[in-house]
A and B are shown apart, each in its own frame.
Chain A
Amino acid sequence: MAPPGRARSGAHGEPEGNDVAENGEPVLRLVGVNKSFGPVHVLHDVDFTLRQGEVMALVGDNGAGKSTLIKCIAGIHPIDSGVIEYDGREVKIGGPRDAAELGIEIVYQDLALADNLDIVQNMFLGREQRKGIVLDEDAMEEKARETLARLSVRTVKSVRQQVSSLSGGQRQTVAIAKAALWDSKVVVLDEPTAALGVAQTRQVLDLVRRLADTGHAVVLISHNMNDVFEVSDRITALYLGRVAAEVKRTDVTHGQVVELITAGRSGDLGLAPTSAAETI
């Protein structure tokens, strides 16, 4: 699955010493992206880089622009200015279809699963495999099972279970597995653990980690610092539409990240004081 060229490095848990640029292959790079909704300038010159095999946590307070940034990547909002590079070449993402074709999968907070369909049917929804005009149920079931096995999903007993009978954590698992089913390179997870209990959060975080370890570039949006510090390799903090800082997880503490989120700066990190102040 890894593209030819440089070997993938920077797996989880690798100690310090790696320069930021050396860690993994940049898959998706946003440079100087701006986005306004009418008079409201939501994203200011945002730079955002995702690397293969890494979990990038995207943090920020409500209204910092996390969702807008994600929707720009997903093709739901066109960007006003700036460049999106995918695999080193500039791309235009004009709609959700474009994003999916590039290999960008988004797992939204409200999951987007159909309760009345089973796991296989949900995972292939909208992209069913067929033989002629007939659905190829056998091939889809095999591929779904294979994907779940690859991600070591043990919480789901049968792939022919209806989604309505699953727990919140299992539903999240199915939604994430759905994103990994396609040869996707970028998987964006919008608050995957927000509504989950302790054990289920554990399962989902493990899955997020395995997603990166199987070669995906993962974006994890979360408000929960424990989750962020547990699985992410890097953290991008947004503050009022600007990137306050992009840091390695091992270089910062909980407290620093919280300061970046709430004030846009923390010690040497973050926006210059004037810049942080003027956007308020």
Chain B
Amino acid sequence: MSTDIPRLADADFAADRRQLDVRSAVSDYWARVRAGELGAIPAILALAFLVVLFTGLRPETFLSKGNVANLFTQALPVTILAMGLVFVLLLGEIDLSAGVASGVCGAVMAKLIVDSGQPWYVAVIAAIAVGVVIGTAIGWLVSVIRIPSFVVTLALFLGLQGITLKLIGKGGTVPVRDDVIVALANKNMPIWLGWTLAVVVSLGYAGSQLWRWDRQRRRGLHGKPVQLVAARVLVVAVILLFGTFVLSLDRAPSPLVTLAGIPWGVPLVAVLLIIATFVLDRTAYGRHLYAVGGNAEAARRAGINVTRIRMSVFMIASGLAAVSGIVAASRLNSVATDSGAGNTLLYAVGAAVIGGTSLFGGRGRARDAILGGLVIAIIDNGLGLLGVDAYANFLITGGVLLLAAGIDALSRRRRSATGR
């Protein structure tokens, strides 16, 4: 670097101007972890631990090809629901009614297809619209009337169950037989398409990461060392390609038929993940969301419309809850009066928090829903394989949620102790 021109800036930001080398980047990362920025670490540890645990306890069934594919479809509804909740949790709010909202939307879709004979896309749009309306109502009550979100959504948790019951009728279920809807969770992509998508997504991710690294380097901006960027790209690509490989194996129980390919719901979640990540990380709206979650007063003084932001997250959460309800209906081939009730919401909140989203607001990413959703699905699936009694299932799942919330609270304490 020449000594004359960038002298001042370089002297002021010596540590900042140059690209970090691997060593200092790693030690920076470790310092942040020690200061309570755990990120995805708990979720990844939990995933590894659970896979080892259930493989050990049920070696012949847990990692069978059929069960692995099953895990993914099992994780779909909870992951989508959790992704919506990430937006709400980012503001430090809660939506207890997201689960039953998904039930209502599923019921609306099923009734439209079965009773009114509407095509699937009309039913899907109507279901999502109902979700957004529910979210708007919650958002209005929370952000304009200023009722705590806990109370509003607790009331809707009860109220919306009544609506599902009324729509479907006592004790009944509405079967869903529409080909497109059923295919979401029950049919698989052709194998060639799965591979193509996996390769395209891997290359796209690698390209965007390296392009960004190069741009930051050329403009002398803060950036990660290229080795770490490459390692990250490699890990993502390996996971994607390995997952595609596993799901492309024939998993049919009988040799007469073939059953292989990525379930259609997986690319749906991938698209939602990419959109949500883009919105949160790359747009002003996403930035404002984090700001409101971190310090609502600062956001207000910066001219951000806090009321509108607060309203919007409930609309997003309930809209995604509708998508989750549709996928759940697809998986079960029906909508029942208790759809979305019970432990649905607990699972989704648990997924978001396990994935690393803070209950206190301001911290969380869209991918948390994926990681946490997988953890929850593995717990649910593994306990099912073990044949654990219902009472123990409740106890264990509740315990896991408390554990995740405890880690969140402790790391937050750690952050405020090390800051300043």
Contact = CB atoms under 8 A, between A and B. Distances in A.
Interface of A: 96-97, 100, 108, 110-117, 121-122, 125-128, 130, 133-135, 138, 141-142, 145-146, 148-149, 152-154, 156-160, 164-168, 171
Given A114-B294, A138-B219, A165-B418, A121 B283 contact: no
A169 to B, nearest CB: 10
B419 A149 contact: no
B302 A165 contact: no
B419 A116 contact: no
Given A115-B294, A166-B419, A160 B16 contact: yes
Nearest to B304: A126
The 7 A-B pairs at the shortest CB distance, nearest first, are namely: A126-B302, A114-B294, A116-B294, A116-B362, A112-B298, A158-B16, A125-B302
A149 B415 contact: no
B13 A159 contact: yes
B295 A149 contact: no
Contacts of B299: 114, 125-126
Given A125-B298, A157-B16, A160-B16, A117 B290 contact: yes
A183 B288 CA distance: 22
Given A138-B216, A149-B8, A160-B222, A115 B362 contact: yes
Contacts of B15: 157-158
A168 B16 contact: no
B392 interface: no
B409 to A, nearest CB: 16
Given A121-B287, A149-B13, A135 B303 contact: no
A108 B290 CA distance: 21
Given A96-B303, A138-B215, A164-B419, A145 B13 contact: yes
Interface residues of B, number: 37
Contacts of B9: 145-146, 149
Contacts of B303: 96-97, 100, 126-127
Interface of B: 8-9, 11-13, 15-16, 35, 215-216, 219, 221-222, 282-284, 287-288, 290-291, 293-295, 297-299, 301-304, 362-363, 415-416, 418-420
A114 B420 contact: no
B12 A167 contact: no
Q: Which of A115, A156, A166 has the most CB of B within 10 A?
A: A115
A115 B222 contact: no
Contacts of B415: 164
A145 B297 CA distance: 25
B298 A165 contact: no
B302 A127 contact: yes
